[in-house]
Amino acid sequence: MKSHIVELDPFSTIDLLAVNEEIKRKEQKEHYDYERDRPGPSILPEQFEKIKEQRQLRIQIDATKAANNKRLQQLKDFTKFFEA
């Protein structure tokens, strides 16, 4: 993806940042294989799909929680700044 960015282009840093964000997003996405990742031999493919969905949902919830905690800390710092 980075091979198509021309370094002499004045907007190459913007392009590079966008590509880095896309790479980061793709790396965070987990890939599951039924034969490799199922927790036990008694798990059916339908059950495994539900497990995958729950894992993806948990990842999204954790990311949202981290973003909310960061924003909350920023607001706390902001209020402390004005109280001082």
What pTM was estimated for this model as a whole? Answer: 0.55
Q: Which amino acid is at 35?
A: E
Give the helix ranges, DSSP H, for the chain.
Answer: 12-28, 34-37, 45-83
Q: Averaged over 52-61, what is the pLDDT?
A: 89
Residue 52's pLDDT is 86
Residue 11 structure tokens: 């907007």
pLDDT score at 67: 95
The pLDDT tens digits for 5-35 are 777 777 777 777 888 888 888 777 777 777 7
Q: How far is CA 35 from CA 44, 47, 50, 71, in A?
A: 11, 13, 15, 40
